[in-house]
Amino acid sequence: MCMGGPMKRGSAATLAGLLLQGMAFLSLVGCATAQPLRPPRPEVYRDPPPHHLTAPSRLTVVFLLKADALNAWIHEQLPQLNGREWSLGEVGPVRDSKVTLEIRFEKLTLRSEKDGVAVGIPAVGHLAVSGAVKLPIIGAKMFTQRVDVQARISGDLAVELTSGSAAALSFDPRVEIERAEVPLPGGVKVDFREPLQKEINVLLATRRRPGDADRRLLLNIESPWLARRVIELTRSPRSTFRFHPRGLSVQSADVDQSDQVRLALALKGQAATFVGVGPPAADPPPVDRDGDPAEPDRFSLVVPTSIRLSSLDELLTEALSRQPIEGPEGVVVHVKGAKLGSDGRRFYMELDIDAQTRLKQRISGTVFLWRRPVIDDERQTLCLKDVETHFQSQRAIQNAAAWLLKAQLSRLIEERAVVSIAEVLEPVRKRAEESAAQFAKVGNQQLKLSIERIEARDLLMAQDQAFVVVHVSGQAEVELGRPK
């Protein structure tokens, strides 16, 4: 357990606050939009990587959708198919054909079902095929013949949203052949509409069999943007965020008497933030274990953050050189430069300092401060334990430097470097909720974001790297179709 008084001005407190706030902010900002942290290199960890480095996150967002607004939104998202043409080269028996599709989607219907909601979108359209096909003749030889087919298509595009499962998309078409002709020499046309209609009916009847998986298509969320894009958060130091989706499921779905759909979608995946170190190029292997247990309609994000300590040298120098560090007995320390490093268990600060005593004696040199960072999960405090100081000053004054500074700096750091994580993360929470409010001003939607818990846990040290895990949970609600 970390003990100590409230945080005061000091090098260790400044460093701890800077590191923790930076890690938490970068992690939380990245959660809204990347690939998770793969196990560290073998030379960093000899044991298997800790479970939290690959723990999945669950982002649950509740959508409140009015039927009219949902209808308008879906029709905006559906592809524009009217007059769409495809030119085919040689595909199977088809040769140099042109396919034209015209389709129109009508007003959707909502139907409440057990443990879910069904959305139906009637569609009507026209399909035309003109070109050549290869047909067999006696002796297994093939000949090419031109055809002309016109067909009317109708059916319902259905989206089934069932609690506890993935959303499913299905289309149950009805095809009516209007014309199917084979033109022969001399202007003769052979009508094969009836046999073609019969074959199509048999094919559709086969696909309509209960349990036929071919007519149920899982919604594909592994788009290039979601699964591959690297989000750059800051440039100095360079920090990135990646999220790798593993699955999309319906947490809950229902429709009320006013035709408003309440839909909770849960996106499960792995997230990670990288500061000063590039993310791995390869996708991480999938994991089966769950992260924090999430209540229905609430999100739970586990964001491992990997930080290369040397990437923070410039920021650390700026923070520590801004004002002198005042210690007891009139000692004043000016930091001219700072570097961060780690031996795998503790981290150290290499400080280039000028110190002045009460008697105006000046001491210049390099001070190494070694300490073991500890996070108290219950109190949510960060403190520094087992502080050691080492000096590399001029030989003539080395003893004086140790006598004046070693005991004072060690005691000062241990007593005062107790950081309240809640106070550090509070600005992060406010900024995230303010960003959600700004989103609500764009378009015809309203986003309500409530972050109920944000904590930092499981701080680990490696060679020139630190790993910390940020846990975020709360509620997110999007209302589409609100009055402008």
Task: Give the model's pLDDT for residue 285.
Answer: 44
Task: Give the model's pLDDT for residue 91.
Answer: 52
Output the 3-class SS for the chain.
Answer: CCCCCCCCCCHHHHHHHHHHHHHHHHHHHHHCCCCCCCCCCCCCCCCCCCHHHCCCEEEEEEEEEEHHHHHHHHHHHCCCCCCEEEEEEEECCEEEEEEEEEEEECCCEEEEECCEEEEEEEEEEEEEEEEEEEEECCCCCEEEEEEEEEEEEEEEEEEEEECCCCCEEEEEEEEEEEEEEEEEHHHEEEECHHHHHHHHHHHHHHHCCCCCHHHCEECCCCCHHHHHCCEEEEECCEEEEEEEEEEEEEEEEEECCCCEEEEEEEEEEEEEEEECCCCCCCCCCCCCCCCCCCCCCCEEEEEEEEEEHHHHHHHHHHHHHCCCEECHHHCEEEEEEEEEEECCCCEEEEEEEEEECCCCCEEEEEEEEEEEEEEECCCCEEEEEEEEEEEEECHHHHHHHHHHHHHHHHHHHHHHCEEEHHHHHHHHHHHHHHHHHHHCCCCCEEEEEEEEEEEEEEEEEECCEEEEEEEEEEEEEEEECCCC
Task: Give the model's pLDDT for residue 397.
Answer: 43
Task: Give the model's pLDDT for residue 143.
Answer: 66
How do strand 84-91 and strand 217-218 relate by DSSP bridges?
unpaired
In this structure, what token pair is assigned to residue 407? Answer: 């005991």
- Please, what are the averages of pLDDT over each run of 10 residues along the chain (484 residues)? 46 39 34 30 34 62 78 69 58 65 80 78 84 62 76 82 69 84 82 83 64 39 44 71 73 80 79 72 45 64 78 76 72 80 76 75 76 78 68 48 54 60 72 68 69 80 76 81 52
Report the amino acid identity of residue 476.
A
How do strand 84-91 and strand 94-105 relate by DSSP bridges?
antiparallel
Task: Give the model's pLDDT for residue 281.
Answer: 47
